[in-house]
Chains A and B, each alone.
Chain A
Amino acid sequence: MGKRILELDNVHSYYGHIHALKGISLYVEEGEIVTMIGANGAGKSTTLRTISGLLHPREGTVKLEGEDITHTDPHLIVYKGVGHVPEGRGIFPKLTVRENLEMGAFTITDPNKIQQRLEWVFELFPRLKERLDQYGGTLSGGEQQMLAIGRGLMQHPRILMLDEPSMGLAPVLVELIFDIIQKLNKEGVTILLVEQNAHMALSIAHRGYVLQTGNIVLTDSAEKLKKNEMVQKTYLGIE
């Protein structure tokens, strides 16, 4: 595979006095799907928040293609090509679907490009086109997730970070969302995927990290992780 797009080195993050990340080191190469699995509170979302600048680590470095972005403001990190679809989707409830998507393209000034992206997102999620003038808050959970991913794609990130895209969705929709993640990856988008649904995540990822209480306890290719005894027992429910 290619060069490392994203690299975290010994990152320690805190919420107030709570030591949430205790020395996370990981990397993502161009063109990969990398997944982070782990229980609630293991630090998966915190890792994503630290990468996108919503949270600045006290120790360690975050590098984007070799450039240090550890203390960069979140909106500037977006301009550098990091897309983050946050936990709980973060739909703007009182903006229409169209406006939500336009906000996704906030960094883009060329209206033709925005239009192209819009068409692309509609191709992936035809449902959004039907809901264009509806408020984001009135969509169903599945539609909101589509909107959140679609909005993340509007900015055309080089690396897209997805936080629990399957949460609260019907199994059919989970399949659809994961199909689309794979499709995006084939179109050249690098993906960092946080999931509780370890089975689905490992089935589409190239590599994975296993987090426990703010530490990375295991990392390997997705194939090998699936066969790992600990992963099978703890996250895949296989005795």
Chain B
Amino acid sequence: MQRFLKSIQLRELLRPLGQMIAFSLGSSAVLSLIIIILALILDQTAVGASTMARFKVSLFSYTIVNLPQVLIDGLTLGFVYAAIALGYTMVYGVLEFINFAHSEIFAIGAFVGVEILIALKGREILSTEMSVGNAYWWLILALLAGMAAAGLAAVVVERLAYRPLRGAPRLVPLISAIGVSFFLQDAIRLIESITTGQFHRIIPTFGNFDQRLTFGSMPLGAGSISLGVQIKSLIVIIAAVVMLIGLNYLVNATKVGKAIRAVAQDRATASLMGIDVNHIIALTFLIGGMLGGAAGVLYALKFTRIDPFVGFFPGLKAFTAAVLGGIGNLTGALLGGIVLGLLETFAGTFMSIFTMGAAGAEYKDIFAFSILILVLIFRPHGLMGENVGQKA
């Protein structure tokens, strides 16, 4: 019996890992294929000639050489989106409402993490020469602090702005959420300008996070292009994967997780089982907030600069990812995040080449939000959702 139990639990750890690998490989393969076919076609046109003129290679080989780097960057972004999307989808699963303040919960996580690291840097605890081991400990500390602050903020927001509106028409808490979102944005701005006098904050450089691990190079025309991955991208992916597995385990294999699912499916009956529904809802916000906060710190690590409105676009894209995967569905959020991160990075890299510079990377958001519109029109229940209103 004991051994039997253990085997079930192991399965719950391996299943999400398998899903992540499958989703990553699957969407990478599909998008790569599309891009390669496009490159082959465009190679015969003026686009190919222009590439040849600029880089002295065919468009096809230029695309192939760039692909590995795009995939790595895309997956990094995808896992950040997935971690944020889970916050939207969990809350939707339990309360059937979109917590639009989640993007500011993400920003709170980012600010707390970054401010702690800046303070440490100011006290000369962090430096580029410090031992790598210590650097990681401080980064983990910042990550945990960001998670704690964001989780707490999410719980407070639920208690003050959503719980009193429970039972009101569904539009009411939604409007409240948008209000909370604006409030938090300006609250962060106020606090930042009072305490630091600055609008933008930049994560300090320390440890070896900016180093690039190279694993070979590919010839490109006369020169060559090196293939590699920044250590911080690896950190983002690994941290996100660990959190996503942890969340999946919590929801699927623990008593609390089953209670969360029971509340999502039927709140009144769940309370007849002895489950404290308010407690579970608060816990859902805590978990979603913690994931969002961690994503915020990881985002700051990867993109270095944050401002009070830093949450807006990642939040909106993560929401798109959640809708793409099927809102309310945890596995769907994971898939949606990965697909969206890859798509955005592909668009950002290849659009300017394929259009001969007419449209650059700055238009990449068109793709993310076109996806949102297309999904809402043609498949409103998302890729993994079974029908509208279906819970995880």
Given contacts A90-B268, A95-B265, whether A75 and B255 have CB atoms under 8 Å apart is: no
Contacting residue for A94 out of B265, B268, B276, CB 8 A: B265
A92 touches B276 (CB 8 A): no
A75 touches B268 (CB 8 A): no
Q: In the docked arrangement, what's the CA distance between A106 and B391, Å?
A: 21
A120 within 8 A of B: no
Given contacts A95-B261, A99-B258, whether A106 and B268 have CB atoms under 8 Å apart is: no
A139 within 8 A of B: no
One digit per residue, 1 when the CB lies within 8 angstroms of any chain A CB and 0 when it does not, for chain B 241-260 equals: 00000000000000100110
- Report A159 CB to chain B, min CB distance, Å: 13
**Residues of chain A at interface, number, CB under 8 A:** 23
- In residues 147-162 of chain B, which contact A (Cβ within 8 Å)? none
Q: In the docked arrangement, what's the CA distance between A59 and B390, Å?
A: 38
Contacting residue for A84 out of B261, B272, B390, CB 8 A: B272
A103 within 8 A of B: yes
B268 touches A103 (CB 8 A): no
B134 within 8 A of A: no
Given contacts A95-B258, A102-B255, whether A74 and B272 have CB atoms under 8 Å apart is: yes
Q: In the docked arrangement, what's the CA distance between A86 and B262, Å?
A: 15
Q: Closest residue to B271 on the A side, CB-wise? A: A74
- Report A103 CB to chain B, min CB distance, Å: 5
Q: In the docked arrangement, what's the CA distance between A90 and B268, Å?
A: 9
A93 touches B265 (CB 8 A): yes
Given contacts A90-B266, A94-B261, whether A106 and B271 have CB atoms under 8 Å apart is: no
Interface of A is mostly: loop
B272 touches A90 (CB 8 A): yes
One digit per residue, 1 when the CB lies within 8 angstroms of any chain A CB and 0 when it does not, for chain B 265-289 equals: 1101111111111000000000000
A79 touches B274 (CB 8 A): yes
B258 touches A102 (CB 8 A): yes
Q: Closest residue to A100 on the B side, CB-wise? A: B262
Q: Closest residue to A136 on the B side, CB-wise? A: B265
Q: Which size class do B's interface residues fall under?
A: 20 to 34
Measured between beta carbons, the chain B residues less than 8 angstroms from A93 are 265
Q: In the docked arrangement, what's the CA distance between A79 and B273, Å?
A: 9
Given contacts A95-B261, A103-B259, A106-B259, whether A78 and B269 have CB atoms under 8 Å apart is: no
A54 within 8 A of B: yes
Measured between beta carbons, the chain B residues less than 8 angstroms from A73 are 271, 276
A104 within 8 A of B: yes
- In residues 56-88 of chain A, which contact B (Cβ within 8 Å)? 73-75, 78-79, 84, 86
Q: Closest residue to A82 on the B side, CB-wise? A: B272
Given contacts A54-B272, A78-B274, A86-B272, whether A106 and B266 have CB atoms under 8 Å apart is: no
Given contacts A75-B277, A102-B255, A106-B255, whether A95 and B272 have CB atoms under 8 Å apart is: no
A212 within 8 A of B: no
Q: In the docked arrangement, what's the CA distance between A102 and B16, Å?
A: 23
Given contacts A92-B261, A92-B265, whether A103 and B276 have CB atoms under 8 Å apart is: no
A106 touches B269 (CB 8 A): no
A103 touches B271 (CB 8 A): no
Q: In the docked arrangement, what's the CA distance between A53 and B275, Å?
A: 13
- Report A167 CB to chain B, min CB distance, Å: 16
Q: In the docked arrangement, what's the CA distance between A24 and B39, Å?
A: 77
Q: In the docked arrangement, what's the CA distance between A104 and B269, Å?
A: 10
B391 touches A86 (CB 8 A): no
- Report A166 CB to chain B, min CB distance, Å: 19
Q: Closest residue to B390 on the A side, CB-wise? A: A94
- Report A209 CB to chain B, min CB distance, Å: 22
A52 within 8 A of B: yes
Contacting residue for B262 out of A54, A79, A95, CB 8 A: A95
Extra A-B contacts (19), CB below 8 Å, given A75-B274, A92-B266, A103-B258: A54-B268, A73-B276, A74-B272, A75-B276, A75-B277, A84-B272, A86-B268, A86-B272, A90-B266, A90-B269, A92-B265, A94-B265, A94-B390, A94-B392, A95-B261, A95-B262, A102-B258, A104-B273, A107-B274
A interface residue numbers (CB < 8 A to B)? 52-54, 73-75, 78-79, 84, 86, 90, 92-95, 99, 102-104, 106-107, 151, 155
B interface residue numbers (CB < 8 A to A)? 255, 258-259, 261-262, 265-266, 268-277, 390-392
Top 3 A-B pairs, shortest CB-CB distance = A90-B269, A78-B274, A107-B274
Q: List 13 A-B contacts (CB under 8 A).
A: A52-B272, A54-B272, A74-B268, A75-B271, A75-B274, A78-B272, A78-B274, A90-B266, A92-B262, A94-B261, A94-B265, A95-B258, A103-B270
